[in-house]
A = this chain, B = another copy of it.
Amino acid sequence: MTEKKSPMVTVDAVIERDGKILLIKRKNEPFKGDFALPGGFVEYNESAEDAIKREAEEETGLDITIKALLGVYSKPGRDPRGHVVSICYVATAIGEERGGSDAADAAFFTLVEIKKLKLAFDHRDIINEFAVL
């Protein structure tokens, strides 16, 4: 394997239920206290699909089902920690949402409510891409 510096890989999910989208309130920096799509780093030897299911469960307590690949977000500068490529899925969920490992809180919001929230990273752009589908 090459030893060249490589971008990191994360997964995020737009988890939709009853016309609302699930957001978490970030417990840690960067963007501590801002709202974000559930997600996190893909572990070595973990598929992207397994990673987003694990992260969603850890952060929100929900068992998600992936419905589609929304997009890949890879512009340098989108994450202050370094170059991070995010693979973003659309998903549905069952269960009762709650805050978890890296999330102070988790709740479903309408698009109108989301307009008033402070969002982390480029997650507003991602939600806007989802909203026009």
Chain A residues packing against B (C-beta within 8 Å): 1-2, 4-9, 41-49, 69, 71-72, 74-76, 81-83, 85, 87
Contact = CB atoms under 8 A, between A and B. Distances in A.
Contact of A85 (B9, B69, B81, B83): B9
A12 to B, nearest CB: 12
How many chain copies? 2
Contacts of A75: 47
A6 B4 CA distance: 12
B4 A76 contact: no
A83 B41 contact: no
Q: Is the interface of A mostly helix, strand, loop or mixed?
A: loop
Contacts of A43: 4
B72 A48 contact: yes
A130 to B, nearest CB: 14
20 contacts: A1-B82, A2-B81, A4-B41, A4-B44, A5-B44, A6-B6, A6-B42, A6-B44, A7-B9, A7-B42, A7-B45, A9-B9, A9-B85, A42-B74, A44-B83, A47-B75, A48-B72, A69-B69, A69-B71, A69-B72
A65 to B, nearest CB: 17
